[in-house]
Amino acid sequence: MRDVVAEPDRVDRSGSAARPQRRRLDVLPYVLVAPVAIFIIGLAIVPALFTIIESFFTVNELDPPTRFSGLSNFVELFHNHAVTNSAANTAFYVVVGVALSTVLGIAMAVLLQRPFRGRGLVIAILILPWALPGVVEGILWSGIFDPNAGLINNLIATLHFGAGNGVLLGQNRLLTVGLIELVQVWQMTPLSTLLIFAALQLIPEELYEAATVDGANGWRRFLSITLPLARPGIAVAMVQALIATLNIFDQPYVLNGAASTGSSVTMETYFVSFQNLNFGQGYALSLVVALVTVALSLLVVRFIYRRVEL
Amino acid sequence: MATRRSRATWLGAAGLAAVTLLAAGCSGGSGKAAATGASTQTSGVTITVALPTDPPPQAALDAFKAATGITVNWSSSDWDSLQTKISAAATANTYFADVTNVDWSRVGQLGKLGWFLPLETYLDGNGLKADMPQLASFTLDGHIVGVPYDASYMVTTVNTDLFAKAGISTMPTTIDEYTNDLKTIKAKGVVANPLNIPFAAAEGLSTYWYETTQAFGGTVLDAKGKPQFTDPSSAGYKAAEWMVNAVKDGLVPPGNINVNDSQGEQTLMAQGQAASTFSDYSGLINSLYNVTDSSTVAGKVQYLETPGVSGTALNLSNPDGMGIPKQAKYPAAAAKFIDWFVSAQTQADFSGLNGQDKVWGSSFIPSRLSVVQQLSQADKLADGERLAKMLKTASPVFPDGAPTWYPTFSNAVYTNLHAAATGSMSVADAIKAIADVANQQSSNS
Amino acid sequence: MRDRRHHPLRAVGIVLVILWSIVPIYWAAKSSLQTESAARARPAQYVPLHPTLANFRTLLLGSGNVATGIRHSLLNIVIECAAATAVTVALAALAAYAFARFHFKGHNVLFFTVLATMAFPPYTTLIPLYRIMSAFNLVNTYTGIVLVYVSGFLPLAVWVLHNYFSSIPASIEEAGLIDGASRLQVFWHLVLPLATPGVISIALITFLFGWAQFLFPLVLSTDLSTQPLTVLIAALQGRHIVPSTLMSAAGILAIAVPAAIALLFNRYIVNGLLAGSTK
């Protein structure tokens, strides 16, 4: 991006006759940009400032008026069992979700790396999970997890592993969070795959040929060429997955309701704000999530991202 | 220069917009004037009625329209979502309905926050009080926040057929006898999991625990909101233990950790898969279990006087009420609707006294004592005598009204009891967690 | 030669990828065509033996609350997504063009700010937006919901369209300008047609984003007058006993439109997403 230039790029050669034209040019970009600027400032920046500022206030419908309260919102949240419990669940979602979607994304991107007949169709099918609403995916998968009519239990019965009527969600915590995250991974992986796929497309064929000539086998080529050169794409994919998993709401809400077994931090933010009507705590929780997102994203960029010149 | 001036103009405009939004946001919410656009018009308007039930027969609504000129737009949803909607609309000062649900448990909160219009200005409070024993639960500081449209209370239902198959001839009168009977039913293989407890993390679980606590002879919170269930010998503690142990002992189906109360009654009990629901809804025999379209146990279910510690215990009063949210567009029309809905004539129609075609499937028991007595006399109320007897003694779980922070408390109750049932928490820890929330909330307010 | 050696493994991989993407959707489609007892039957039916459209009939043609609710919320979601897409693409195109072609004071700051808001975690602004909308009495209105959607979708749209516009050689526009056309005429007649694939891509992606929204409309739309299909269907799960087959049918209804869009227009969508990812 070029540096900001105070004068318009059109060089004024014709003196005063060009003045009206320059004035017209000066206003136009601002007119074009103004609507977006108003939206972003009014409905993104200002609300974000709200969140930051009001998390240090008591904003509670049951406890008016709004007043400054320092860190008390954060302290109360820290002592709220439901919130700390959801933080543990969310940590699981993040670790498992980012790891699994990235690994699967790399695997699928490598599968698609070389053109083959029908690749377009495979990509079309592959992006389906990404295109569907997370909420409805939760409903589709709850049909798979259903104790009686679900796919998993039906398979268990068919393969004679058991009676095939086990309760999969809600009973065992590890199984519950695992299955919930599986649904989110199903949704996130297509985007990871595409991002890494785009990075792979930039790797020149000659590098692989040279490596083969040198005697490297497939696995070696993957580790030494593919993986390192795909790092920019992998980093972006990981950041996307990070944001999605940290803010997970739809899947646990639909699959396991208000129970604490699979509850996520965003769910608790929703309950604290709209059920308990304690908006101050809701802001505080949102702020914490935002800070964690920024911190972890910076870590990913610092350690995974690498500027690649090809 | 032109550049700087136009830039300044635009940035200034954007900044002004931002400041306006900021200022508006700060003053938003409860600062706004109440009931903008409220109208005293009645005839010719359309009101929205939002309740957690299915609508009554269309013929009844048509008759109402013919008599008053008011068209009713019925909107139904599940209880938990509706409560969130009520809060959201009230805090946002937006209109979403002219008439909506006022649950006994939220009267404290709704009344204190002024979210509902006081009904004594629109209706004859004294007349209602005389015929509705449960109106007191909906009154706060002399204001009528809502009017009960049913006399719902929690009651134990038993499938006598399944009890008989297990060789039990006399019905249990204490909770120990009750538990043993259920174990017998399980042991004899009559039903694999005879006891119905809806352990999904939803309001129905809290209500179940309140009823069980009363059966064990105690209360949940005192007038100041302090927990009464922290001691292991207290009723609430024992009730929680009893419920969770029932899951561990296999008396409750393992899948019930995901079943909420409406699913529990509508599937398990009505399909004969459960032998008893300890805390069921009064009137369900009439409206569900005996209706051959939706149940396979018609004629087999009866009410049981609550088995308590040493004999019959009281029932938990759990009436559903309706009120007018303060943002209603047509409060006068809404009041007419409420008046009509809870009138003796309408309640008699809904409960089947005047023909099956007028029955409203979601009516449990009418809130008017006079109609209940009529029903019992006309023998139209299944197990009517028992019902009327228990109605007279049904008592609210919060004798001094539910605290304003009730939703927070109930959330703690059902999430922690659910966690104890799944085994991820001990009963002791669950009780402590619930008590902590009660202590914290009561000391804040 | 190297490719052929990898073929069997890659073929297996491709099949697994396809199964992974399709099976959950297939399972829901299968159960939606079954009665509840057929779905629970043992031995399990992996293909419906007696397919029936009863579930869909109940949901779409019935006269009960559920059916009217579904029809109404389907209308709502289409209106909300279409409006949000139209406004987003229009505003983003204008702004992206300005960013791509003009140098003006504040260009960098503004551009960076718009993109930086993409990095906000999605729900950071949920509560304040709710309170702002309620202050203006816009809760439970199409306007309020569309405004919130647009504010969320603008950054990516600006970014993607900026990439497309930047890749169009300036010489084409200069030719038009020399011929006496105004900037806006050049934009409309010369630039936009060339950028049509990009515009279509971001329009489709924005529409899909709108369709996928859940928590924002859950909070901002309090009843059927504005509730989108996704919120209503999630609420169905919380209501009376809804058989898993009926829920599956509702799910299939909710994914029909986005699935069709994704399959039919996948080229545009993939290109749009990839254009949004290149630095």
Expressed as residue numbers, the domain containing B311 is 154-316+405-444
Expressed as residue numbers, the domain containing A216 is 80-303
Residue B316 predicted with pLDDT over 50: yes
Q: Are C240 and B94 a contacting pair at CB < 8 A?
A: no
Q: How far, in Å, CA of C35 to CA of C52, rounded?
A: 7
- Same domain flag for C210 and C170: yes
- Nearest 10 degrees: CA dihedral of B261, B264, B270, B275? -110
The encoded tokens of residue A9 equal: 């790029």
A2 vs C278, residue with greater confidence: C278
What number is the ipTM of this complex? Answer: 0.86
Q: Are B3 and C105 a contacting pair at CB < 8 A?
A: yes
- Same domain flag for A219 and A154: yes
Position B39 scores a pLDDT of 73
- Same domain flag for A42 and A142: no
Residue A164 predicted with pLDDT over 90: no
A294 vs A2, residue with greater confidence: A294
User: Mean pLDDT, to the nearest integer, of B379-389?
Assistant: 78
pLDDT in tens, B154-172: 899 999 999 999 999 899 9
Residue C59 domain-assigned (yes or no): no
b/e sequence A264-300, b meaning 16+ C-beta within 10 Å:
bbbbbbbbbbbbbbbbbbbbbbbbbbbebbeebbeeb
Nearest-by-Cβ selection for A124 from C147, C234, C266: C266
User: Mean pLDDT, to the nearest integer, of A41-64?
Assistant: 88
A45: Cα separation from own chain's centroid: 20
- Same domain flag for B298 and B202: yes
pLDDT in tens, A183-197: 999 999 999 999 999
A contacts of C135 (beta carbons < 8 Å): none
- Same domain flag for A33 and A102: no
Q: How far, in Å, CA of A78 to CA of A85, rounded?
A: 10
Residue B118 predicted with pLDDT over 60: yes
- Same domain flag for C154 and C231: yes
Q: How far, in Å, CA of A190 to CA of A187, rounded?
A: 7
Residue B344 domain-assigned (yes or no): yes
Nearest-by-Cβ selection for B263 from C136, C222, C241: C241
The encoded tokens of residue A65 equal: 């008026």
CA distances from A165 to A174, A179, C25 (A): 19, 16, 21
User: By C-alpha distance, which of B384, B204, B356 is closest to B293?
Assistant: B356
pLDDT in tens, B249-285: 999 998 888 888 877 777 788 888 899 999 998 888 8
User: By C-alpha distance, which of B320, B332, B346 is closest to B98?
Assistant: B332
Subunits with at least 3 CB pairs below 8 A relative to chain C?
A: A, B
pLDDT in tens, A129-158: 999 999 999 989 988 888 877 888 888 888
C contacts of B95 (beta carbons < 8 Å): 140
Q: How far, in Å, CA of C226 to CA of A188, rounded?
A: 28
Tell me the shortest Cα–Cα distance from C71 to chain B, in angstroms.
14
The angle that helices A119-126 and C266-277 make with each other, rounded to 10 degrees, is 80
Position B185 scores a pLDDT of 93
In sequence order, what are the residues at sequence separation of 6 or more whose Cβ sits closer than 8 angstroms to the Cβ of residue A91?
A: none
The encoded tokens of residue A181 equal: 């995250």
Q: Which amino acid is at C147?
A: L
- Same domain flag for C46 and C127: no
- Same domain flag for B94 and B229: no
- Same domain flag for B284 and B433: yes
Position B9 scores a pLDDT of 40
Query: Over pLDDT 90: what percentage of chain C?
Result: 35
Position B227 scores a pLDDT of 93
**Total residues belonging to chain A:** 310
Q: How far, in Å, CA of C253 to CA of C28, rounded?
A: 11
Position B157 scores a pLDDT of 92
Residue B2 domain-assigned (yes or no): no
Q: How far, in Å, CA of A119 to CA of A125, rounded?
A: 10
Q: Are A61 and B113 a contacting pair at CB < 8 A?
A: yes
Three-state DSSP state, B99: strand
Residue A127 domain-assigned (yes or no): yes
Residue B29 predicted with pLDDT over 60: no
Grade residue A75 by pLDDT with cuts at 50, 70 and 90: very high
Grade residue A175 by pLDDT with cuts at 50, 70 and 90: very high
Kindly report the CATH number assigned to the domain that includes residue C208. Answer: 1.10.3720.10
User: Mean pLDDT, to the nearest integer, of B66-85?
Assistant: 83
Position B252 scores a pLDDT of 93
Residue B19 domain-assigned (yes or no): no
Three-state DSSP state, C26: helix
Q: Which amino acid is at C189?
A: H
- Same domain flag for B161 and B236: yes
pLDDT in tens, B330-377: 999 999 999 999 999 999 888 878 877 787 866 667 888 888 888 878
Position B426 scores a pLDDT of 94
- Same domain flag for C127 and C91: yes
- Same domain flag for C73 and C40: no
- Same domain flag for C21 and C141: no
A contacts of B200 (beta carbons < 8 Å): 257, 259
- Same domain flag for A49 and A100: no
- Same domain flag for C236 and C115: yes
For testing the chain A interface, which of B1, B3, B426, B432 should be mutated: the one with the most A CBs within 10 Å? B3
Kindly report the CATH number assigned to the domain that includes residue A106. Answer: 1.10.3720.10
Residue A238 predicted with pLDDT over 90: yes
Q: Are A169 and B109 a contacting pair at CB < 8 A?
A: no
- Same domain flag for B305 and B269: yes
pLDDT in tens, C17-31: 999 999 999 999 998
Residue of C nearest to B52 (CA): C239
- Same domain flag for C78 and C40: no
For testing the chain B interface, which of A19, A22, A26 should be mutated: the one with the most B CBs within 10 Å? A26
Subunits with at least 3 CB pairs below 8 A relative to chain A?
A: B, C
User: Mean pLDDT, to the nearest integer, of A229-240?
Assistant: 91
Nearest-by-Cβ selection for B96 from C65, C131, C223: C223
Expressed as residue numbers, the domain containing C203 is 64-277
pLDDT in tens, C95-129: 999 998 888 888 888 888 888 888 777 788 888 88
- Same domain flag for C38 and C169: no
Confirm if B132 and B144 have CB atoms less than 8 A apart.
Answer: no
Position C6 scores a pLDDT of 56
User: Mean pLDDT, to the nearest integer, of C194-202?
Assistant: 90
- Same domain flag for A119 and A57: no
Q: How far, in Å, CA of B268 to CA of B261, rounded?
A: 10
Task: Describe the strand order of the beta sheet including B99-103 as a list of residue ranges.
Answer: B71-76, B46-51, B99-103, B320-323, B147-148
- Same domain flag for C84 and C181: yes
- Same domain flag for C105 and C33: no
Least confident of A55-64, A279-288, C41-50: C41-50
- Same domain flag for B223 and B121: no
Mean pLDDT of chain B: 83
Confirm if A108 and A260 have CB atoms less than 8 A apart.
Answer: no
Query: Over pLDDT 90: what percentage of chain B?
Result: 38
Confirm if C161 and A72 have CB atoms less than 8 A apart.
Answer: no
Grade residue C272 by pLDDT with cuts at 50, 70 and 90: confident
Number of domains in chain A: 2
Q: How many CB pairs under 8 A join B and C?
A: 77
The encoded tokens of residue A10 equal: 């059109």
Residue B326 domain-assigned (yes or no): yes
- Same domain flag for A159 and A260: yes
* Helix or strand (DSSP H, E) at C260: helix C244-264
pLDDT in tens, B224-257: 889 999 999 999 999 999 999 999 999 999 888 8
Residue of B nearest to A147 (CA): B255
Would an 8 Å CB–CB cutoff place A38 in contact with chain B?
Answer: yes
Q: What is the pTM of this model?
A: 0.83
pLDDT in tens, B79-88: 877 887 788 7
**Total residues belonging to chain B:** 445
- Same domain flag for B215 and B187: yes
- Same domain flag for A167 and A204: yes
Q: How far, in Å, CA of C123 to CA of A289, rounded?
A: 9
The encoded tokens of residue C142 equal: 């199409």
- Same domain flag for B137 and B148: yes
Number of domains in chain C: 2
Residue A18 domain-assigned (yes or no): no
Kindly report the CATH number assigned to the domain that includes residue B142. Answer: 3.40.190.10
Residue C58 domain-assigned (yes or no): no
Residue A5 domain-assigned (yes or no): no
Q: Are A290 and C121 a contacting pair at CB < 8 A?
A: yes
Residue B17 predicted with pLDDT over 50: no
Residue A3 domain-assigned (yes or no): no
- Same domain flag for B307 and B417: yes
Q: Give contacts of B 188-217 with A, CB under 8 A.
A: 200-202
Confirm if B91 and B313 have CB atoms less than 8 A apart.
Answer: no
Residue B41 predicted with pLDDT over 90: no
Position B20 scores a pLDDT of 40
Grade residue B12 by pLDDT with cuts at 50, 70 and 90: very low
Q: How far, in Å, CA of B251 to CA of B245, rounded?
A: 9
Residue B211 domain-assigned (yes or no): yes
Nearest-by-Cβ selection for B202 from A76, A257, A261: A257
Residue A6 predicted with pLDDT over 70: no
Confirm if C28 and C259 have CB atoms less than 8 A apart.
Answer: no
